[in-house]
Structure 1
Amino acid sequence: MTMPQRPDPQEQARVMQARTAAIVVAATMVLWLGAQFAGGQMGLPVRYVFLFDFAALAAFFWALVVGFRLWRARQAKE
């Protein structure tokens, strides 16, 4: 009978980072679409709509950077 291998702590950290980035992308998309819809229904000024757009862009950029760093880390490991 073989003992189960212990997961690598660095690999677990990478998995958690990837999961966090995926949640950020999904939540940002839902919140951004909701903000666009609500802004149109309430007649918000365009500057507030742009504020939502810039916040979504910042979140997407963060997720892109995290994904790129995870990809580079995996490439360096192999």
Structure 2
Amino acid sequence: MSRGHKQEEADARQGRVAALVIAGTMILWVGAQWLGGQLGLPTRFAFLFDLAAMAALFWALVVTYQIWRRRRDN
């Protein structure tokens, strides 16, 4: 396998991971918001869920940007 083909496979793998993180984050975030409302959790827990979701989505954004830069440069 050529170096370029290996990099394309690695980029595709990273893209799939980023997509799973985005989808999983949104599902868990919506579920946490609903569960928090049902259990009557304090608002600070809602902010904690929000911050965790933002961190995961930021990570996915960074990974996606890195993939885009690598593909653009090649």
Give yes or no for the alignment of 1:18 onto 2:24. Answer: no
Give yes or no for the alignment of 1:42 onto 2:55. Answer: no
Q: Tell me which of 24, 37, 40 is aligned to 1:27.
A: 24
The residue type equivalent to 2:26 in the other structure is: M
CA offsets 1:37-68 (integer angstroms, 9 cap, x no match): 00000000011110000000000000000011
User: How many residues matched?
Assistant: 72
Greater Rg over alpha carbons, structure = 1
TM-score, structure 2 normalization = 0.94
- Residue pairs, 1:48-63, within 5 angstroms: 48-63=45-60
How far apart are the structure 2 equivalents of 1:14 and 1:67? 9
| % identical aligned pairs | 56
The residue type equivalent to 2:12 in the other structure is: V
TM-score, structure 1 normalization = 0.89
